[in-house]
Amino acid sequence: MFNRYWRDYPWWMQIMQFGLMVFIFLGFASGLAYILLPALTGTHLTDIANVSEQSPKPVINGMILFQFITSLFFFLLPSLVFAYATHPAPFKYLGLRKPGKPVHWVLVSLIILGLMPVSIAFAGWISHFNLGDMAQKMQSDNDRITKAFLQMSSPGSFVATFITIAILPAIGEELFFRGIIMRFTAQKTPGILMPVLVSALLFAFLHSNIYGILSIFLDGIVLGLIYYLTGSLWCSILAHFINNGLQVALIYLSKNSPAIDAIANNNQLPWFMPVAGILVFAVSMYLLWKNRTPLAADWTDDFAGEVRSDEEEPGSY
């Protein structure tokens, strides 16, 4: 008999299966990008390697398309396919359920809005430190690519960037880091602290932003806590979307506003904004804690709520 779902396999084997799936999807993404970039933008992978804000528009469009393909095939599709292969209720497996209380939508939005100025100010403070030539080179490359992404000269380019940087990562990265990684960690560690920290650490590491890594790590912790306290991955998706989407929108609006440009591109905030952000964040997080509907105690049990016959052969269908 063959295994119907991958949940029948041991924990370590499921991790290997997920890693292999990510690797296969990435390989497919590379081939797809190799074909689509010339066909849709007239550029090649070699053209976008050194993209910058001064690059020709087709090269920047090629980089946006490449990022879209990479995000789709690294985060979103592997997570969805793995969930479908692992569990008969993949949405339940990934935590895609309604939050326990409607007020969670409001509180989650306020939490991330309060956290944003704090994260921006913290990243600006860290940028004043000299972390070594290698770190500065990595940060310079990251900034160069980011500025190229954000050259939104028309409403159409804004929509393309918004989808690539705000919508797709909000869904795909939450499925990947909180839906899969956090769940795997929780299956082998007691409590919720270690799963939140591990998923946040990987979240920060894969963003390749040296000076922003601590801010991204903090964001990852908050997103993990949101998922746990609301019991809904949709809430962390909403928070992630607001964080990314608002930054993209601010940079687009900054084309006609020097004040917004200073905030969006140089992490320059008036002192009262981080202070107000801390207050909004603290009050909203407290209210979320008071209104929490946390993940069930058996949320990592792949067979929760099911009755398995003692005569059933493990791994059979």
Burial class (CB in 10 A: 0-12, 13-18, 19+), 263: buried
Nearest-angstrom CA–CA distance, 297 and 153: 49
Q: Look at 76-90, 152-166, 204-218 and tell me which has the smallest mean pLDDT.
A: 204-218
- The model's confidence at residue 136, banded by pLDDT at 50, 70 and 90, is confident
Q: Answer whether residue 184 shows pLDDT above 80.
A: yes
Structure tokens at 42: 């007239």
- The model's confidence at residue 316, banded by pLDDT at 50, 70 and 90, is very low
Q: Answer whether residue 127 shows pLDDT above 90.
A: no
Residue 271 confidence (pLDDT): 78
Domain positions in the chain are 1-94, 99-296
Q: What is the mean pLDDT of residues 279-292?
A: 97
pLDDT greater at residue 136 or residue 249: 249
Nearest-angstrom CA–CA distance, 258 and 74: 36
Do you know the residue count of the chain?
317
Residue 270 confidence (pLDDT): 78
pTM of the predicted model as reported, rounded to 2 decimal places: 0.90
Q: What is the mean pLDDT of residues 10-32?
A: 96
Q: Give the closest residue to 119 by CA, choosing from 267, 241, 248, 249.
A: 267
